[in-house]
Structure 1
Amino acid sequence: MQLDRIDRKILDLMMRDATLSVAQIAEVVGLSQTPAWKRLQKLEAAGVITGRVALVDPANIGLGLIVFMGVEAADHSVEWRETFRATIEDFPQITEVYRMAGAVDYLLKLVLPDTAAFDRFYLEFTTRLPCRNITSGIAMETLRHRSGWPINVATA
């Protein structure tokens, strides 16, 4: 789907605040409500907008530990990858997963209550999935977290 400047402006607004009304979006992007609503519908139908969520501070709900875990595959077979994909689906503590180039095969972001919870996670995860190596780093402070993407709203 080709996005024009107005589409990108709408996306930028939605990524900043998905609670904005169609009227508010229309006013900012310079459209009336109906064309703005139709553009939103088009963006959702095309899969550009994949959902709308509330952002919650994990520390305020008892999830004060963020861990980044590097996983080196035990092997690079189709079977191992399928087991990996199935295993990560069973752990809600895993909030993000990336297949990587470089020193580790996969990078996982975990959000947990504390180090004891991480230890329990680690033991269960490694019991269920054979890995060559796992490295972990605990985030000491979140300096920047953005839920949106850097979209260019200035050009057509």
Structure 2
Amino acid sequence: MKLDQTQRHILTLLQKDSTLSTQALADKVGMSVSPCWRRVKEMEDAGVIRGYVALLDRTKVGLGTCVWVRVKLKQHSVEVLDRFEQVVKGCDQVVECYELLGETDCLLKLYLPGLEALSAFMHDFLLKIPEIDVTHSSVALREIKNETALPL
């Protein structure tokens, strides 16, 4: 879907505050309510807007440790990757997972209460996945920037 300037403006506003009423959104964009609602609905139907969420402060809910885990798989086949993906998709601690090109096959991002939880995650979950050959973990010392809004 090719986005026009009005749609981009609507999306920018919704990324900052998805609780805006259609009236408030229309006022900020400079259009009447019905056309504004139609634009939003069109973007929802097209999958541009996937949903609406509440963004939490992870440290205030006890998830102060951010860990990146690089995973190298034993084999490179569709079956191995599919099995690995299914296991990872079912793990709540993994908030992001990417398949990569290069020496690392997958990159996992975790939010955990602390290093003890990382140890438990590794021993009780990750290292029990038979498709994994090698893992390397990096613990973030501090968060410098973490944005959820896409640059439109």
Would you call these one fold, judging by a TM-score over 0.5? yes
Greater relative contact order structure (CA < 8 Å, 6+ sep): 1
Compute the TM-score of the two structures, normalised by the length of structure 2: 0.95
Shift of 1:101: 1.8
Inter-partner Cα distance in structure 2 for 1:113 and 1:148: 25
- Structure-2 separation of matches of 1:62 and 1:129: 30
Question: Once the 2 structures are TM-superposed, how far is the Cα of residue 143 of structure 1 from its aligned partner?
Answer: 0.8
Which residue of structure 2 aligns with residue 61 of structure 1? 61
Look up the SS of the partner of 2:80 in the other structure.
Answer: helix
The gaps in structure 2 that reach 5 residues or longer are: none
1:11 aligns with 2:11: yes
- 1:128 is matched with which residue? 129
Summarize deviations over 1:74-113 as a string: whole Å, max 9, x none: 1111221111111102210000011112231111100111
Cα RMSD between the aligned structures? Answer: 1.0
Aligned partners of 1:140, 1:38: CA distance in 2, in Å? 44
Q: Report what 1:154 is aligned to.
A: none
Does the Cα contact within 8 Å between 1:83 and 1:129 map onto a contact in 2? no
2:74 match? 74
Give % identity. 36
Amino acid at match of 2:74: A
1:134 partner SS: strand
Structure 1: gaps of 5 or more residues: 152-156
How many residue pairs end up in the alignment?
A: 151
